[in-house]
A and B are shown apart, each in its own frame.
Chain A
Amino acid sequence: MDAVSQAEAAAALLEAYTTRVPIEPLRDTYPDLTLADSYEIQLLQMRRRVADGARVLGHKVGLTSPVMQKQMGVDQPDYGHLLDDMFFLEHLPVPTAAYLQPRIEPEVAFVLRRPLRGPGVTVAEAIAAVDFVLPALEIIDSRIRDWKIGILDTIADNASSGGVVLGSRPTPLSAVDLRLAGCVLHRGGDVVGTGAGGAVLGSPITSLVWLANTVGERGVALEAGHVVLPGSVTASVPVAPGDAFTATFAGLGSVTARFSEETS
């Protein structure tokens, strides 16, 4: 795929954020799309956003569950960028109308105390770099019509990132066994998902190590103070205007995301 097509795809995706009209799957429009093309399309959008004043505040890892990987026919995760305008506060309404087809996922967010520079980052190093963990709700969204995504589409579309709501009680990693920590996702009073931290690549720490080493190959470091969303503990759940979700994690407390009523 040539640079002109990459720029064209990046522009189409960026435009979809504004128009809220999703585009057709990229692999339909560009049959010769590769993994490298997709990450380049993602980066072109991020550079544009940063040039316009946005700040990168962290990363998210996606496709971390065996179910999602099987669905996409892949055996590895992907990643996207978290920009400053994607962070929302607990209990203040998330603007539902800003999204095209939002879904929600409970996650254990890592906050770094010092940078992680891959490749070659070990589990030991990654644990030492984590300042604390927070319960989190990630809003995922797709700028591709009807979530008809393959791995190449979602990577180009910033790993289907939408936003994040962080809980406010920090817990040190040493105080919790993330692998066996249970999580229950409620919508209103209904249980809509349950899972354990180990659903994320066996442990969310594995996801952090994978991210550090994968972005490291591109010369990018995970920075101190950055937030890393390592992947969902349950299957994602669709969001409707007015919904309120609470994710409760054993040992970490809970986080709530409330969505505004308006649809346009």
Chain B
Amino acid sequence: MAGWDVERAVGVLMAAEADRRDLEPITDEWPDLDLATAYAVQDEVLRRKVAAGERVVGVKLGLTSRAKQQRMGVDSPLTGWLTDAMVLPTGAPVPQDELIHPRAEPEIAFVLGRPLAGPGVTAATAMAAVDRVYGGLEIIDSRYRDFRFTLPDVVADNASSARFVLGAMGLPPDRLDLALEAVLVEVGGAIVDSATGAAVQGHPAEALALAANDLGRRGLRLEAGWLVLTGGMTDAVPVSPGAKVAAHFTSLGSVTVSGG
């Protein structure tokens, strides 16, 4: 289809986010959009946000669970950028007036003590770069209607990133068995789901290595002090107005968000 390029996709996605307007998948009209071009869209949106004053604080992984990969018909996760504008302060409600259809998913998050440059990063070398481990809730918000998208669509949309909130307690990684670190997801006081870190690529460290290697292939690296959200452990749950979503972790404490 004539008329689509990185520039236009960047404009459409940024406008959708700013105006809280959901889109049909870009690939409906631009079926040739490939992953490399989709990442170029993602990077250009970031460049413009940074030029406008936002600061990169880390990366997130998406589609790290086998269940989600099967649903999407893909066999590999994706990455997106996290900026300081996405930090949701503890106790603050999810800003409904800034988001389209927010959903929350529990995640294990890493803060890096030193840089990680792929390719060639393994789960073991990745863990050696981790300074602290947090439990968190990521608020995702696809700019596509009903979260309907193909892999290039969601990559261009910065992996549906919107907001995130971390638990108050960061623990050193050598004290945790992250494959067995569990989370209970509670909505309005009722347990709706549970999982462990093994749901994320077998172990969250595998997801971290994957992020480092993915960035490495694009000539980028994970920096010291960056945060890495390793991917949803369970399915995401809607955070509509009035909703209260809590994630209770085995060792990493509890995190709660409200829908305002």
Contact = CB atoms under 8 A, between A and B. Distances in A.
Interface of A: 66-67, 177, 179-184, 191, 194-199, 202, 233, 248-250
Contacts of B184: 179-180, 196, 198-199
Name the residue in A180, A248, A249 with the highest tally of chain B Cβ atoms < 10 Å from its Cβ: A180
A196 to B, nearest CB: 4
Contact of B199 (A181, A191, A250): A191
B23 interface: no
Interface string B201-217: 01000000000000000
Contacts of B181: 182, 250
A199 B190 CA distance: 10
Contacts of B193: 66-67, 199
A181 B182 contact: yes
A182 B182 contact: yes
A198 B254 CA distance: 14
A179 B199 CA distance: 18
Interface residues of B, number: 23
Nearest to B202: A191
Contacts of B177: 250
A183 B196 contact: yes
Nearest to A184: B198
A1 to B, nearest CB: 34
B74 interface: no
A248 B250 CA distance: 15
B183 interface: yes
7 contacts: A66-B190, A66-B192, A177-B250, A179-B184, A184-B180, A196-B194, A198-B191
Contacts of A199: 184, 191, 193-194
A184 B194 contact: no
Contact of A233 (B194, B197, B233): B194
Q: Which 3 A-B pairs have the closest CB atoms?
A: A182-B182, A196-B182, A182-B196
Contacts of B202: 191
B164 interface: no
A166 B118 CA distance: 44
A249 B190 CA distance: 23
A233 B249 CA distance: 15
Contact of B250 (A66, A191, A196, A202): A196
Nearest to A192: B66
Nearest to A248: B180
B250 A180 contact: yes
Given A195-B196, A198-B194, A199-B194, A180 B180 contact: no
Contact of A191 (B66, B183, B248): B66
A202 B185 CA distance: 10
Contacts of B180: 182-184, 248-250
Interface in B36-87: 66
B195 A194 contact: yes
B12 interface: no
A202 B248 CA distance: 12
A183 B192 contact: no
Given A191-B202, A194-B199, A250-B177, A181 B250 contact: yes
Name the residue in B183, B190, B195 with the highest tally of chain A Cβ atoms < 10 Å from its Cβ: B195
Contacts of A195: 182, 194-196
B179 interface: yes
